[in-house]
Chain A
């Protein structure tokens, strides 16, 4: 089994492109007076989070890579490195991304890592770089295991994962309205991803796609951007700090405090780690489902519209 395959570290090579694109978006917003907003401390925090993500990859990347190489040693399949194999790997890895991302919103342990990406109240190209420092601790590398076992080399899997991340950079903008209809139908776009970053009840927990929006349409999590409801960006409860350390670790601290409070059963302690964000043992907090249900109770005219449930059935 060949294990001396190398692929370029595309994310690092894309850094100059990221910087140039941010400057171009900023220039566009400043000169045109539309297409998004920038604020110094918010952008600085996002950029530091991006740098920290690269640093954590350098420091902790060996954990995932070691795991992948272990799997590569035991799999009898080697699909090689043809263009067709790389393309197939890219598509399957995007499916992997969809599920990891969905877990990232529905399992608090994984959300603790992903939450920082949603912690900006802005939506611009720096928001794309507001990435996790703690991804290794979610153990979501196991979701990539099937790809390795199917015969895709670990270096290739990480390469296509890097391409996926680079694709997602440009969709973090308000400077682009909608792409051509055929493109919006198949690909993840700024419009689809703005919805994903919205904290409006209807926009919570949807559009998990990385590159291909078809996964959301297949698995029932697609919500279109409505012209009459602009996304309100940020968290359900917005942070009161720009400190990158607190941005990176706040949900882990929250899990620790919740799970170690006195008087809970072990099941309740576990649930604070694995249930959706907003779950609480006494029902004193709201999950996204509860927020949507409350919104529909307060705005019955929105019931059964995109992203929102029907009105509760009160018939006996």
Chain B
């Protein structure tokens, strides 16, 4: 197939599918309805390191996890979730909450939506970790 046809078809095809998905409401991010869900999301990634404490943020978008190994975070990846330990994380307060920069090529930056009180509490807790 000539590149002059293939290239526009691929670009327009990808754009059209992405726009359609968004218009269908399929861009919604996952939420963690309760502590049990946050705990399950953590164990899905780290099944051998059970949480001993879970701090679910008010808007249910993420959770701070404490285990015997250390602290970690669960957050949405689109309609699903993932989790990481916070060893070596750098915290920055933003207008919408916290930005966590991790020394991890597969999860370099996490934006957590928190109100100012929550952000301050998370920062205090994580000072021990960073």
A residues sitting closer than 8 Å to B (CB atoms) are 9, 12-13, 15-16, 19, 22-23, 26, 30, 37-44, 47-48, 51, 54, 58, 121-122, 126, 232, 234, 237-242, 246, 250, 253-254, 294
Contacts and interface: CB of A to CB of B under 8 A. Distances in A.
Nearest to A19: B13
Pairs of residues from A and B, 4 with the lowest C-beta to C-beta distance, nearest first: A240-B107, A121-B80, A39-B79, A40-B27
B120 interface: no
B80 A40 contact: no
B77 A240 contact: yes
Contact of A242 (B17, B77, B105): B77
Contacts of A13: 1
Contacts of B1: 9, 12-13, 15
A37 B18 CA distance: 14
Q: Point out which of A39, A40, A241 has the most chain B C-beta atoms below 10 A from its C-beta.
A: A40
A19 B9 CA distance: 9
B14 interface: yes
Contacts of B79: 37, 39, 42, 121-122
A51 B78 contact: no
A43 B78 CA distance: 10
B4 interface: no
Among B3, B17, B75, B110, residue most surrounded by chain A Cβ atoms (within 10 Å): B17
B3 to A, nearest CB: 8
B7 to A, nearest CB: 9
Report whether over half of chain A's contact residues are helix, strand or loop; otherwise say mixed: helix
Given A15-B9, A41-B27, A42-B78, A241 B14 contact: no
Interface in B1-60: 1, 3, 6, 9-11, 13-14, 16-18, 20-22, 24, 26-27, 44-45, 48
Contacts of B6: 12, 15, 54
Chain B residues touching A, majority SS: mixed
B11 to A, nearest CB: 8
Nearest to B109: A241
B105 A254 contact: yes
B99 interface: no
B21 A294 contact: no
Contacts of A126: 17
Given A234-B80, A240-B110, A40 B26 contact: yes
Contacts of B123: none
A47 B16 CA distance: 11
A108 to B, nearest CB: 15
Contacts of B82: 238-240
Contact of A238 (B17, B26, B45, B48): B45
Interface in B95-124: 102, 104-108, 110
Nearest to A38: B26
A43 B21 contact: yes
B90 interface: no
A241 B80 contact: no
B17 A23 contact: yes
B14 A51 contact: yes
A237 B79 CA distance: 16
Contact of A39 (B10, B16, B26, B75): B26
A249 B104 CA distance: 13
A6 to B, nearest CB: 14
23 contacts: A12-B1, A15-B6, A22-B17, A26-B21, A38-B21, A38-B24, A39-B21, A39-B26, A39-B27, A40-B27, A41-B27, A44-B14, A44-B21, A47-B13, A47-B17, A51-B14, A122-B80, A126-B17, A240-B102, A240-B104, A240-B107, A240-B108, A253-B105
Contacts of B106: 237, 239-241, 246, 250
A39 B78 contact: yes
Contacts of A12: 1, 6
B14 A54 contact: no
